[in-house]
Amino acid sequence: MDLSIIPLCNSADLVEGGEAVPFDLVHGGQTCRAFAIRFEGQPHAYLNRCSHVAMEMDYQPNRFFDDTGQWLLCATHGAAYSPETGACAGGPCNGGLVKIALSEADGVVHWHTDWNLRPIEF
Q: What is the pLDDT of residues 85-116, one digit of tens each?
A: 999 998 888 889 999 999 999 999 999 999 99
> What is the domain class of 5-117 according to CATH?
mainly beta
Please report the beta strands in the chain, taking only residues with DSSP state E, as ranges in sequence order: 5-10, 21-27, 30-39, 42-47, 72-73, 80-81, 88-90, 99-100, 102-105, 108-112, 117-118
Over residues 4-46, the pLDDT tens digits come to 999 999 999 999 999 999 999 999 889 999 999 999 999 999 9
What is the pLDDT at residue 55? 77
84: helix, strand or coil: coil
Model pTM above 0.75: yes
Q: Where are the domains of the chain?
A: 5-117
Over residues 45-82, the pLDDT tens digits come to 999 988 876 678 888 889 999 999 999 998 888 889 99
